[in-house]
Structures are given as C-alpha cells and as structure tokens.
Amino acid sequence: MESSEMKVLINDEEQYSLWPGYLAIPAGWRDTGVGGTKEECLVYVKESWRDMRPRSLRVQMEESAGKVAHA
C-alpha cells in the first residue's frame, strides 16, 4: 500500500521537489529532512524557496554584477 507521506528534496542547484516518501530518492537529489502531507511540504517549500533561479545562474549573475560594479 502506498503512503501519502511526502518528502521535500533539494538538488545541487537548490531547486526543491516533493517526492513520495515510499520511493527511493533519485540520483542528484537529497532529503531536506522535511516530510509530511503534501500541503505541509508545500508550505515549507514556499517559505524556503524564495528565488526560483537555479543556483548556478544566481552565482553567474552575481559575478557579472560585481564585474560591472568594478568597471
């Protein structure tokens, strides 16, 4: 029987995903330690994921902004 328990996962790009608790975590993702109902997990994601841009893009944009500021 499948459980309705969900997990919140995060990847190296700091993107979040909800994942069924009964499934193995896929490669490239790790458990945040947050779990519960879908609604509880969505509240956590909404509070935690403020910037939807992938981490690599945020870093690139910050570096570009720094170069422009020093020019």
What CATH number should be reported for the domain holding residue 40?
Answer: 3.90.820.10
Q: In this model, does residue 60 exceed pLDDT 90?
A: no
Pairing of strands 6-11, 29-36: antiparallel
Residue 1 in any domain: the answer is no
The better pLDDT of the pair 44, 56 is held by 44
For residue 13, give the amino acid letter: E
Residue 66 in any domain: the answer is yes
Q: In this model, does residue 61 exceed pLDDT 80?
A: yes
Give the count of domains, the chain.
1
- Euclidean distance between CA atoms 63 and 45, whole angstroms: 27
The better pLDDT of the pair 70, 6 is held by 6
Residues 10 and 30: beta-carbon distance below 8 Å = yes
The DSSP 8-state label assigned to residue 9 in this structure reads E
Determine the average pLDDT of the residues in 8-29: 96
66 three-class SS: helix
